[in-house]
Amino acid sequence: MDTRLSIAVQKSGRLSEKSLDLIRSCGIEFNADSRALKASAADFPLDFLFVRDDDIPQYVADGVADIGIVGRNELDESGIELDIVRDLRFAACRLSIAVPNGYPYSGIGSLEGKRIATSYPRILSTILKENGVSAQVVVVSGSVEITVEVGIADAIADLVSTGTTLKMNGLEEAECIYRSSAVMIARSDMDDGKRAVLSRLLERIDAVMNARHKKYILFNLPEEKLPLAAAAIGGMKSPTVTPLMDKGWLSVQSAVDEDRFWSVFEELKKLGAEGILVMNIEKMTE
Ligand code: PRT
Ligand code: ZN
The CATH number given to whatever domain includes residue 116 is 3.40.190.10
pLDDT at residue 231 tops 70: yes
**Best residue for ligand 1 mutational test, from 11, 53, 158 (most atoms within 8 Å of Cβ):** 53
Q: Are residues 195 and 218 in the same domain?
A: no
Q: What is the pLDDT of residue 235?
A: 62
Nearest ligand 1 atom to the CA of 145 is 36
CA of 241 to the centre of ligand 1 (A): 47
Rounded CA separation 278/126 (Å): 47
Mean pLDDT of the region 223-235: 90
- Rounded to an integer, the average pLDDT of 162-174 is 96
Asked whether the predicted pLDDT for residue 237 surpasses 80, the reply is no
Write the pLDDT tens digit of every residue in 34-48: 778 999 999 999 999
d(Cα 149, Cα 25) in Å, to the nearest integer? 44
Judgement on whether residues 249 and 196 belong to the same structural domain of the protein: no
Sorting pLDDT into bands at 50, 70 and 90, what band is 10? very high
214 alpha carbon to ligand 2 midpoint, in Å? 32
Whether residue 15 is found in the same domain as residue 79:
yes
Do residues 32 and 50 lie in contact, with contact meaning Cβ atoms separated by under 8 Å? yes
pLDDT for the residue 47: 97
Question: Are 108 and 51 contained in the same domain?
Answer: no
Share of the chain above pLDDT 70, in %: 99
Cβ contact 164:172 at 8 Å: no
Question: Ligand 1 pocket, 141 CB below 6 A?
Answer: no
Mean pLDDT, residues 166-179 taken together:
97
For residue 264, give the CATH number of its domain: 3.30.70.120
Given a cut of 60, whether residue 236 has pLDDT beyond it is: no
Same domain, 136 and 77: no
74 in contact with ligand 1, CB cutoff 6 A: yes
158 and 230 in a single domain? The answer is no
Res 33: pLDDT: 80
205 in the same domain as 99: no
Q: Which of 160, 171, 172, 183 best tests ligand 1's pocket when mutated (most atoms within 8 Å of CB)?
A: 160
Q: Is the CB of 160 under 6 A from ligand 1?
A: yes
DSSP string of 226-265? HHHHHHHH-SSSPPEEEE-SSTTEEEEEEEEEGGGHHHHH
Q: Which atom of ligand 1 is nearest to 11's Cα?
A: 4
In this prediction, residue 181 carries a pLDDT of 97
* Same-domain status, 98 and 175: yes
CA of 51 to the centre of ligand 2 (A): 9
Q: Reduce the DSSP state of residue 18 to 3 states and report it.
A: helix
Does residue 26 sit in the same domain as residue 162? no
Averaged pLDDT score across all residues of the chain: 95
Does residue 286 belong to any structural domain of this protein? no
Q: What pLDDT does residue 259 have? A: 86
Contacts of 17 (CB under 8 A, 6+ apart): none
Range of the domain at 188: 5-90+181-211
